[in-house]
Amino acid sequence: MSEDADRASEDTQQVDGGAVIDGDHDGPAIEQARSLLGHDLGLLVITSLILLVFPFLLVDGLGILGEILGRRIGGYEGLAALVLTYGIVVIGFNILLEYTGLLSFGHAAFFGAAAYAAGIISAGTEVDFIVWGVSLFVLDLPAVTSPLLMVVFGTLVATLLAWPIGFLSIRRSGIYFAVLTLTFGQMLYFWALSPGAALTNGDNGFSDVHVGELFGTIRLGADVPVLELVGINDWEYLFVAFFAVLAIGTAHRIVNSPYGLIFKALGENERRVSFVGLNVFRYKLMAFVISAAFAGVGGSLFVMQEQYIHPTTGLYWITSGDFVIMTVLGGTGSLVGPMFGALVFEYINNVVSGISLPVIGPIRSLWRLVLGAVFVFVVWFFPRGIHGGLVDLGRALRSFAAFVVWAVRDPAAFRELLLDTVVAYRAAAADRIEAALSRIGIGGDRR
């Protein structure tokens, strides 16, 4: 589209994104920064509180509701952590899709690569590099089992992988970008399946995952002292929730920074961004790499929970498709929207699949049918996703309530409005009838 402009702007002077806002408000900049920081802190506190009660709502809240309905619709303990894990991935995915308008069908590559990297580094096995039957060298990896380091390493690998893939894919836009990311992801999948089996254990999946103690003292599976009361049973959930809060905070910070504003501008009009002298390519690449880093965090956390990763769950393009589904289900219009998508997706996957319905019987493997139906429904009728739909509904209800209040307070004006509406409607209807008549040649003037 605007590749020529891209190339041209590469040569021109790099303008820092920060200049865009700073020019407008120089005086109260510190004040503004302080209020932003306060806003950030508020967000983090609220998110933390919600995540603290989330397992309780999911497991016990829905469980009680389920007992009333006579169906098992409550979640289980591990589900909350799984939802947050995928939530982290799709928050990052959303930064790319919503703000720069790039639809990637290859994010499983980063999710899976991070999962494998975190798993492999925790195993600490000898890795024999064999190319076409010839052993090149043997790498003796030390076992790194610290959960934090595993996440850091997995994220690092995902980020480093995203750089070349992004560098090539960003050159194309729209559907071609989707296909390019898809091809790179699939190449990695097929590599992990068989040529790379020495490293990934191929089709058998990698299960040699050893998660050690957090800070050398806390075992992730151990009980949490007090929080048991709110349904949090192990440290693993807290560990994942910590990263979820971190992810939301980071994403919020990115999106509301001058840098993030340029992402937003890219989604709205790429050409104009390049006209003001910004390097479009560089910003798109950064958005891509950032979203891949989120996927990397999610992948690392995933392998620690499941203790197992297979090319199909980690790298296959269906997993990329799942990320797309979660993001779009939840709604791309907001930061936390995709989290709702991850919740609905995993809920259907793990809980709805266990429900038995009167006529159809147990849903079990048909969960994807339910998911597909929900997905088509949302895309069709709520282009802004579940979160957007809820926001719209809330707004509609609010304005309706305001209208009712206004009508009650001022009945005369309400009656007048009603009359006006009826008169206008009748005039419009008469116009339309006349137009229809003149089209079939009866009466009226021909225009």
Interface with another protein includes 179 (CB under 8 A)?
A: yes
- Alpha-carbon span 91 to 106, nearest angstrom: 16
Q: How far is the CB of 3 from another protein (least distance, A)?
A: 9
Interface with another protein includes 369 (CB under 8 A)?
A: yes
Interface with another protein includes 176 (CB under 8 A)?
A: yes
Interface with another protein includes 368 (CB under 8 A)?
A: yes
Give bridge partners of residue 131 from the DSSP assignment: 134
Interface with another protein includes 186 (CB under 8 A)?
A: yes
Integer angstrom CA distances of residue 111 from 73, 155, 175, 300, 320:
29, 9, 22, 8, 9
Q: How far is the CB of 51 from another protein (least distance, A)?
A: 29
Q: How far is the CB of 193 from another protein (least distance, A)?
A: 8
Which span (111-119, 191-199, 224-232, 435-443) binds another protein, by CB under 8 A? 191-199
Contacts of 356 (CB under 8 A, 6+ apart): 71, 362, 363
| Binding test (CB under 8 A) with another protein, winner from 317, 345, 347, 382 | 317
1 vs 401, beta carbon nearer another protein: 1
| Binding test (CB under 8 A) with another protein, winner from 91, 232, 262, 324 | 324
55 vs 337, beta carbon nearer another protein: 337
- Alpha-carbon span 169 to 228, nearest angstrom: 46
Taken in order 11, 17, 23, 26, is the CA torsion positive or negative? negative
Site for another protein in 84-143 (CB under 8 A): 101, 103
Which span (77-85, 228-236, 303-311, 320-328) binds another protein, by CB under 8 A? 320-328
Interface with another protein includes 376 (CB under 8 A)?
A: yes
CB-based contact 165:102 (threshold 8 Å): no
Interface with another protein includes 312 (CB under 8 A)?
A: no
Interface with another protein includes 178 (CB under 8 A)?
A: yes
Q: How far is the CB of 162 from another protein (least distance, A)?
A: 16
- Alpha-carbon span 127 to 129, nearest angstrom: 6
Tokens of 282: 């560089």
- Residue whose pair of structure tokens reads 């509609």 in the numeric block: 396
**DSSP per position, 135-184:** EEEEEEPPP---HHHHHHHHHHHHHHHHHHHHHHHTTS-HHHHHHHHHHH
262 vs 328, beta carbon nearer another protein: 328
| Binding test (CB under 8 A) with another protein, winner from 12, 194, 269, 421 | 194
Interface with another protein includes 174 (CB under 8 A)?
A: yes
CB-based contact 407:414 (threshold 8 Å): yes
Cβ burial of 105 (10 Å; 0-12, 13-18, 19+) is buried
Give bridge partners of residue 309 from the DSSP assignment: 206
If binding means CB under 8 A, how many residues of this protein chain bind another protein? Answer: 42
Residues near another protein (CB under 8 A) are 1, 101, 103, 168, 171-176, 178-180, 182-184, 186-187, 190-191, 193-195, 317-318, 321, 324-325, 328, 361, 365-366, 368-369, 371-373, 375-376, 379-380, 383
